[in-house]
Amino acid sequence: MTDSEHLFALLLNEWHNSPGISLEAALHNTLATVFDLAQLYQVSVGANLILADGHRLVASRFSNRSPAPSLYWLRDDPFFPEAVVIASEPLFAGDWVACPERSILSVGEDLDIQIQQF
Protein backbone atom coordinates (compact mmCIF):
# COMPACT_ATOMS: atom_id res chain seq x y z
CA MET A 1 0.00 0.00 0.00
CA THR A 2 1.23 3.50 -0.77
CA ASP A 3 1.01 6.53 1.50
CA SER A 4 -1.73 8.02 -0.71
CA GLU A 5 -3.84 4.88 -0.27
CA HIS A 6 -3.49 5.16 3.50
CA LEU A 7 -4.46 8.83 3.41
CA PHE A 8 -7.46 8.07 1.21
CA ALA A 9 -8.60 5.26 3.54
CA LEU A 10 -8.27 7.58 6.54
CA LEU A 11 -10.29 10.26 4.72
CA LEU A 12 -13.03 7.81 3.68
CA ASN A 13 -13.23 6.52 7.24
CA GLU A 14 -13.62 10.08 8.55
CA TRP A 15 -16.19 11.05 5.90
CA HIS A 16 -18.35 7.93 6.16
CA ASN A 17 -18.28 7.62 9.95
CA SER A 18 -19.41 11.21 10.54
CA PRO A 19 -22.91 11.60 9.06
CA GLY A 20 -23.51 14.99 7.49
CA ILE A 21 -19.86 16.02 7.52
CA SER A 22 -18.70 17.90 4.44
CA LEU A 23 -15.86 16.67 2.28
CA GLU A 24 -13.91 19.77 3.31
CA ALA A 25 -14.39 18.99 7.02
CA ALA A 26 -13.45 15.34 6.49
CA LEU A 27 -10.27 16.43 4.70
CA HIS A 28 -9.49 18.94 7.46
CA ASN A 29 -9.94 16.26 10.16
CA THR A 30 -7.81 13.80 8.18
CA LEU A 31 -5.00 16.33 7.81
CA ALA A 32 -5.22 17.15 11.53
CA THR A 33 -4.80 13.45 12.33
CA VAL A 34 -1.82 13.19 9.98
CA PHE A 35 -0.29 16.35 11.50
CA ASP A 36 -0.66 14.89 15.02
CA LEU A 37 0.93 11.59 13.95
CA ALA A 38 3.80 13.37 12.20
CA GLN A 39 4.42 15.46 15.30
CA LEU A 40 4.30 12.38 17.54
CA TYR A 41 6.83 10.51 15.40
CA GLN A 42 8.85 13.62 14.54
CA VAL A 43 8.57 13.21 10.77
CA SER A 44 7.79 15.61 7.94
CA VAL A 45 4.60 15.34 5.99
CA GLY A 46 3.40 17.07 2.83
CA ALA A 47 -0.07 16.40 1.43
CA ASN A 48 -1.37 18.05 -1.70
CA LEU A 49 -4.61 16.20 -2.25
CA ILE A 50 -7.41 16.73 -4.76
CA LEU A 51 -10.77 15.06 -4.25
CA ALA A 52 -14.21 15.25 -5.85
CA ASP A 53 -17.64 14.00 -4.82
CA GLY A 54 -19.50 14.73 -8.05
CA HIS A 55 -20.63 18.19 -6.87
CA ARG A 56 -17.46 19.92 -5.81
CA LEU A 57 -13.71 19.66 -6.06
CA VAL A 58 -11.67 19.94 -2.87
CA ALA A 59 -7.89 20.36 -2.73
CA SER A 60 -5.35 20.83 0.03
CA ARG A 61 -1.95 22.41 0.27
CA PHE A 62 -0.63 21.07 3.53
CA SER A 63 2.72 20.41 5.15
CA ASN A 64 4.16 20.55 8.65
CA ARG A 65 7.27 22.19 7.22
CA SER A 66 7.75 25.29 5.13
CA PRO A 67 7.58 25.83 2.31
CA ALA A 68 4.75 23.42 1.60
CA PRO A 69 4.65 21.78 -1.84
CA SER A 70 3.14 24.31 -4.26
CA LEU A 71 -0.45 24.30 -5.48
CA TYR A 72 -2.03 26.72 -7.96
CA TRP A 73 -5.47 27.35 -9.37
CA LEU A 74 -6.78 29.16 -12.45
CA ARG A 75 -10.38 30.11 -13.24
CA ASP A 76 -12.01 30.97 -16.59
CA ASP A 77 -8.81 30.94 -18.63
CA PRO A 78 -9.34 31.49 -22.38
CA PHE A 79 -8.09 27.93 -22.97
CA PHE A 80 -10.48 26.55 -20.32
CA PRO A 81 -13.50 28.87 -20.12
CA GLU A 82 -16.07 28.14 -17.41
CA ALA A 83 -13.62 25.89 -15.60
CA VAL A 84 -11.22 25.82 -12.69
CA VAL A 85 -7.84 24.16 -13.18
CA ILE A 86 -5.79 23.04 -10.17
CA ALA A 87 -2.15 22.00 -10.58
CA SER A 88 1.03 21.66 -8.55
CA GLU A 89 2.74 24.10 -10.92
CA PRO A 90 1.38 26.49 -13.56
CA LEU A 91 0.92 24.41 -16.71
CA PHE A 92 0.98 27.32 -19.17
CA ALA A 93 0.98 31.13 -19.17
CA GLY A 94 -2.03 32.56 -17.39
CA ASP A 95 -3.29 34.21 -14.23
CA TRP A 96 -2.46 31.35 -11.89
CA VAL A 97 -3.08 31.97 -8.19
CA ALA A 98 -0.96 30.27 -5.53
CA CYS A 99 -2.97 28.57 -2.80
CA PRO A 100 -1.87 29.66 0.65
CA GLU A 101 0.12 27.17 2.70
CA ARG A 102 -2.00 25.03 5.03
CA SER A 103 -5.20 25.67 3.15
CA ILE A 104 -8.17 23.79 1.75
CA LEU A 105 -9.57 25.02 -1.54
CA SER A 106 -13.14 24.11 -2.53
CA VAL A 107 -14.72 24.62 -5.96
CA GLY A 108 -18.51 24.36 -6.28
CA GLU A 109 -20.52 23.46 -9.36
CA ASP A 110 -21.00 27.20 -9.95
CA LEU A 111 -17.17 27.55 -9.97
CA ASP A 112 -17.29 29.52 -6.73
CA ILE A 113 -13.91 29.15 -5.02
CA GLN A 114 -13.63 29.05 -1.24
CA ILE A 115 -10.30 28.91 0.60
CA GLN A 116 -10.13 27.87 4.23
CA GLN A 117 -6.92 28.23 6.24
CA PHE A 118 -5.98 25.11 8.17
Residue 68's domain is classified under what CATH number? 3.60.20.10
Q: Which residue range is the domain that position 9 belongs to?
A: 3-117
Helix (H) or strand (E) holding 117: strand 113-117
Work out the pLDDT band at 1, boundaries 50, 70, 90. low
> pLDDT digit string (tens) for 58-80?
999 999 998 999 999 999 999 99
Which residues is 62 bridged to in the sheet?
Answer: 47
Please indicate, yes or no, whether the overall pTM of this predicted structure exceeds 0.75. Answer: yes
pLDDT given at position 4: 85
Mean pLDDT of the chain: 94
Mean pLDDT for the stretch of residues 80-98: 95
Number of structural domains (the chain) is 1
Rounded Cα distance between 95 and 100, Å, is 16
